[in-house]
Amino acid sequence: MPSTVFMRIPNWLTDEISVRMDEKLSIIKMIPGRIWQRGADADVLLKRYSSAQLFISEKELQYPFFKKCAYKLLGKSVPQLFAVGTSSEKLKFDFIWSNLELSRLSPKDLVPEWKKYLAPNALLMFSYLGPDTGKNLQALLGLERIVEYSSWDMHDVGDVLLQEGFSEPVMDMEYLTLDYKNRDLLVKDALLLGLITAEEFDQVSRQSSLGGAECALQITLELVYGHAWTPELNLSRAKDGLASISPDQIVRPKK
């Protein structure tokens, strides 16, 4: 993305996506003992896995003191802060939940990091905004071009998961349409989501009306979801379509 573009995904959107991710957990039969939540909304996971030990990765999600006390009195687990590079790097998780991290970072960076902290037979679940996000804005805003949304094709993400040794990766997507009655609010959200530059925001704000007068006041988001498992024994590692096995993993059968 150009340097004039920034992204600050609003809390209401991360909350909505976390609810949709939680619905997908309904078909997955597991009881994780230790969860690392990377992204917004700890309450969703606390409600589903009340007995789990929950770790969070973002400081702003830390619970205030009075809420921690209330949770302790009720015998509930209080989320703990855990960050990459801390002294607890040997800590392993049964479940990593990543809400919209891939909207900001590359899968080639994130997937190996996720794998590093997952125990055998652990679950990874994630979401991100896909490449079709905001495609309707060029006609609506009357711009010659809009920022090409920097995102990842879900098949490419699936390939990275396999290359890093994950098993049974499942990817799916849906479109979410945001409707607006107010033009100014739509343009502000487009700027926050990184779909237009600051210069384009100023240009559109000065217009008396939007260029695509016949277009509905909407922003279309592509939501991509994925989950995969870590195998019990990671005997092989796929790369460029080939599987390689380390010599020390080959054991001669006893006679």
In this prediction, residue 89 carries a pLDDT of: 62
Amino acid at 100: L
In this model, does residue 213 exceed pLDDT 70?
no
pLDDT surpassing 70 at residue 174: yes
Do 169 and 126 meet the contact criterion of CB atoms below 8 Å apart?
Answer: no
CB atoms within 10 A of CB 4: 12
Domain residue ranges of the chain, discontinuous segments joined by +: 11-129+151-175+223-234
CB atoms inside a 10 Å sphere around CB 109: 11
Kindly give, in sequence order, each residue whose CB lies less than 8 Å from that of residue 150, ignoring residues fewer than 6 positions away.
Answer: 1, 194
The β-bridge partners of 218 are 179
Are the CB atoms for 154 and 130 separated by under 8 Å? yes
Answer whether residue 73 shows pLDDT above 70.
no
How far is the C-alpha of 187 from the C-alpha of 205, rounded, in Å?
A: 8
> In this predicted model, what pLDDT tens digit does every residue of 85-114 receive, in sequence order?
665 567 899 999 999 988 888 899 999 999
CATH architecture of 11-129+151-175+223-234: 3-Layer(aba) Sandwich (3.40)
* pLDDT number for residue 250: 40
pLDDT of residue 169: 93
107-131 tens-digit pLDDT: 999 999 999 999 999 999 999 999 8
In whole angstroms, give the CA distance from residue 21 to residue 166: 19
Q: How much is the pTM?
A: 0.79
What is the average pLDDT across 195-206? 83
Sequence-distant (6+) residues with CB within 8 A of 251 are none
Instruction: Report the chain's C-alpha Rg in angstroms.
Output: 21
Q: Is 167 in contact with 122 (CB distance < 8 Å)?
A: no
38 pLDDT more than 60: yes
Backbone angles phi, psi at 177, to 5 degrees: -105, 125
